[in-house]
Structure 1
Amino acid sequence: MIRIVDVAKEANVSTATVSRVISKSGTVKSDTKERVLKAIELLNYQPNVLARQLRRMETKTILVVVPDITNTFFSKVLRGIESVAMESGYQVLLGDALNNVDRESGYLNILQQKKADGMILLTARIDGQVVEDIAKQFPVVLACEYTEGFEIPTVSIDNISSARKATEHLINLDHKRIGFLSGPFNSVLGRDRLKGYNQAMAQHSLPILSTMVQEGDFSYESGFNLTLKLLANEVPPTAIFAANDEMAIGAIKAIKSKGLSVPGNISVVGFDDIKFASIFEPSLTTVAQPSFDIGRIAMELLIKIISKVNLEKSQYILDDKLVVRESCKRLI
């Protein structure tokens, strides 16, 4: 078996120099580095990564907990995380919480057992105090969501103002009876997007009717079924704002199933701007999140924490954008 001393002998350098080239640490002259790399290639040397990780008490693995892997919004977030992780030599371990708080909490054990160097949570349903206590002991970053009143490194958008913006778009198109398909009320996203809807309605002196607000679970099925409930009202809504695109698409299918058209009879706005939003018919007006950047910044932040770099900033609020497409029109 080829050893590091064999590489050092072939390159006529010390084993410490070979180690610095492999780990990309310290300064090595370019010509020396080139000799070492040629020796590694010539001898087909395979560094004992596991031994090095054990010496440093690191795994070069990070855990990402997703609330629901079937929700396509998270694909771009994960791609952003993966892009930085690969460049930095980290592997990504994915945990699907299946929208279950107990399952989410169970993933914390992976950190406590030191099977990962850090964790990115894409969900905030776990008790905030529990997460903050873990974050004091291990590298943890919260992305897409946040916890109120706790100082946990976070990357997200302002969901309240984003939802207010989406609702105001419908109000500016002269809609007054606007139904809202919320996410779960026990989730920060569900609560914040409901707050944004309520704020817009109140600011324009429009009634907030309990029958016009339905609690969903961010799934296509809940969007479909809850829209049927909205349409069963004696006076149905002229527009619907759904707290994510999957529910919005479910809403459009439900409207069509009743022989109505979008936006001819009812306008619909979604949230997230998943890829399908632009190719669905009609194409969906929605709030676009910078999902790739959320993932990228979250991973960069986590690496800084792992590397014990002092954070100049730990709370990132990124910009969103209302993307206007075909699913809305002015009320005649």
Structure 2
Amino acid sequence: MGKKMSIKEIAKLSGVSVSTVSRVINDNGRFSEDTRQRVLKTIKKYNYQTNTLAKGLRMRRSNTIGIIVPDLSNTFFSSLVEKMENQFFSKNYSTIICDTGRNSDKEEAYIRMLEAKLTDGLIVISGKKTFDTNILSRPMPVVCIDRKPKGKKTLFVSSNHYQGAVIATTELLKAGTQPTLFKVSRNSSSILDRIRGFKDTMKKMGAELHNSSIISLSSDYRAGSDDRRLEIRNKLRKLINADKLPLGIFATSDTLAADIMIAARDLHLSIPGDLKIIGFDDAPISRYCYPQLTTIRQDISQIASQASQHLINAINNTDDDAEDSEDTIIDVQLVERSTV
């Protein structure tokens, strides 16, 4: 049809009030299934389209979600963002994805930009510092993933990183090794939970915990770089001199585990004969390693589903239910392959 229909005309043709049409379009409020179907049939027949820009200005809503992510080259983060984007799209929200490169100034600049675009809500993934909603210039629902928030009203979704560390450390101890945790120097809340799980398990199982039990690598080197692998080789040499084989290593990511495996082969260490290793994430690289990497799997689909649903609920609720909401902690599991 050439003529553009108004919401009043859709209401008249459907035999309902304008407010009922509005409730059906926004899927908000009370109406019968018969009414919903009648309105939707009329909308489809006459190809009625809402003026989303005018509606957004009227309601101060943009149907846009901002996603702050520290590093899209990390397959865990990129997979998580992809799944959340699909979730939001299915609920008629568009997303603006901001890769901060782990730079706090860049993160703050992105937040200011998202606020200026009247973003309806914010997903904040990982990061070294806790996320403080006081930096926002206007109230906005926020869901933090793997990043502890400040303030009761901010929803928190996370894997059970502590549980994952307990599982990995226990497996390495059962395999007859003296486990060592390898990490990169920056400490997010998820890494701190893994360190805590590692330490508690070592103590509980009566294993010796000393200064070299946790090895922190420089954050200046990229994963996969020659500098990173040289640094790892130097750390492994010290471990070989101090401990009897086989070495047991809990790597706090699969990409780090892959670098450790390559560095170990450069030192003519066999895996899992001379070195037993467990990663974290179950990233694609864990299946492409040789031998394939034993790791801790995070349920990315569940994290994405819970975080996106929590945020949509928070956007649509005008009350303060979020203040009493509990953190969502999602179980992890061991994926046994060939490195232990």
Q: Sort the TM-score into its range (normalised by shorter chain).
A: 0.7 to 0.9
- 1:286 is paired with a residue whose SS is strand
Say whether the 8 Å CA contact 2:181–2:213 is kept in structure 1: no
In the other structure, the counterpart of 1:123 is 126
In the other structure, the counterpart of 1:95 is 98
In the other structure, the counterpart of 2:287 is 278
Which of 328, 331, 339 is the aligned partner of 1:319?
331
In the other structure, the counterpart of 2:223 is 219
Distance 1:115 1:85, change over 3 A: same
Aligned equivalents of 2:21 and 2:161: distance in 1?
50
Say whether the 8 Å CA contact 2:123–2:145 is kept in structure 1: yes
Alpha-carbon deviation of 1:200? Answer: 3.0
Which of 150, 168, 176 is the aligned partner of 2:170?
168
In the other structure, the counterpart of 2:235 is 230
Aligned equivalents of 1:195 and 1:126: distance in 2?
17
Aligned equivalents of 2:57 and 2:109: distance in 1?
24
Which of 134, 137, 140 is the aligned partner of 1:138?
140
Say whether the 8 Å CA contact 2:161–2:191 is kept in structure 1: no
Aligned equivalents of 1:30 and 1:301: distance in 2?
25
Aligned equivalents of 2:96 and 2:147: distance in 1?
20
1:184 corresponds to 2:185? yes
- 1:73 is paired with a residue whose SS is helix
Deviations 1:34-75 (A, max 9, x none): 444343333333221111111111011111111100100123
Alpha-carbon deviation of 1:263? Answer: 1.1
Alpha-carbon deviation of 1:167? Answer: 1.7
Gapped runs of 5+ residues in structure 2? Answer: none
Deviations 1:74-98 (A, max 9, x none): 2342244234323332112111011
Provide the aligned length of Structure 1 versus Structure 2: 325
Aligned equivalents of 1:220 and 1:136: distance in 2?
41
In the other structure, the counterpart of 1:109 is 112
In the other structure, the counterpart of 1:200 is 201
Deviations 1:94-123 (A, max 9, x none): 110111122222222135435311111112
Gapped runs of 5+ residues in structure 1? Answer: none
Worse overlay, 60-69 or 38-47 = 38-47
TM-score by length of 1: 0.85
Alpha-carbon deviation of 1:136? Answer: 8.5
TM-score by length of 2: 0.83
Distance 1:12 1:302, change over 3 A: closer
- 1:94 is paired with a residue whose SS is strand
1:297 corresponds to 2:306? yes
* RMSD (Å) for aligned C-alpha atoms: 2.8
Distance 1:259 1:145, change over 3 A: same
Deviations 1:116-147 (A, max 9, x none): 1111111233454x335549932111112324
Aligned equivalents of 1:231 and 1:14: distance in 2?
73
Distance 1:120 1:235, change over 3 A: same
1:247 corresponds to 2:286? no
Identity of aligned residues (%): 29
Aligned equivalents of 2:330 and 2:313: distance in 1?
19
Alpha-carbon deviation of 1:17? Answer: 4.0
Say whether the 8 Å CA contact 1:245–1:273 is kept in structure 2: yes
Letter in 2 for 1:228: R
* 1:142-153 to 2 correspondences below 5 Å: 142-147=144-149, 150-151=151-152, 152-153=154-155
Aligned equivalents of 2:201 and 2:237: distance in 1?
24
In the other structure, the counterpart of 2:277 is 268
Deviations 1:216-252 (A, max 9, x none): 5483447634421222225166122111111011111
Letter in 2 for 1:249: A
